[in-house]
Amino acid sequence: MKKNLFKNTAAFSSFSVNDLQKAKNFYNDILGLDVEESNGLLTLHLKDSPPVMIYPKPNHQPATFTVLNFNVNNVESAVKDLNELGIQFEIYNEEHLKTDERGILDGNPKIAWFKDPAGNILSILEKMKP
């Protein structure tokens, strides 16, 4: 196999959901993303990023890891805004992963996790400071 087989190849991410319409409503109406529906798939068009494909899967199992990260200028402000839209953030109290009562991990970067309607884990993270 050639070492540079995919070096000049564009790539994109994808993940599954159990209900395409709920996903479309969430990503478009709540998160305000540009969502295209075509051929039974959703495509999220994100600023300065490759598109992300979302596909329906009848036996969908939510990802146990973060499938999509959003860079924001201020995590605390974004958490507040998303809470007002009904989004609840995950609270972690593990040895190496502890969030505050709002669901914010105060590190560099600050980060907070939430789930889409299919249970996939998403995050918002503050742009890293030099």
Residue 1 counted as domain residue? no
Residue 68 counted as domain residue? yes
Total tally of structural domains belonging to the chain: 1
Confidence of residue 7 (pLDDT cuts 50, 70, 90): confident
- The helix (H) or strand (E) run that includes residue 27 is none
For residues 51 and 45, the answer to whether their CB atoms sit within 8 Å is yes
- CA distances to 14, 48, 66, 76, 104 from 63, rounded to whole Å, are 11, 24, 7, 25, 20
Which structural domain range is residue 88 located in? 13-126
Sign of torsion, CA 43 119 69 34?
Answer: positive
Residue 104 counted as domain residue? yes
Residue 61 counted as domain residue? yes
Euclidean distance between the first and the last CA atom of the chain, given in angstroms as a whole number: 38
Token pair in block for residue 35: 């969502």
pLDDT, tens digit, 9 for 90 and up, residues 26-37:
999 999 999 999
Q: How many percent of the chain have pLDDT more than 90? A: 81
Domain at 28, CATH number:
3.10.180.10
pLDDT, tens digit, 9 for 90 and up, residues 38-83:
999 999 999 988 999 999 999 999 999 999 999 999 999 999 999 9
Residue 2 counted as domain residue? no
What pLDDT is stored for residue 1 in this prediction?
53
Distance CA 41, CA 57 (A): 11
Backbone angles phi, psi at 80, to 5 degrees: -60, -45
Query: 59 in helix, strand or coil?
Result: coil
Residue 106 counted as domain residue? yes
Look over the chain and give the mean of its residue pLDDT values, rounded to a whole number: 92
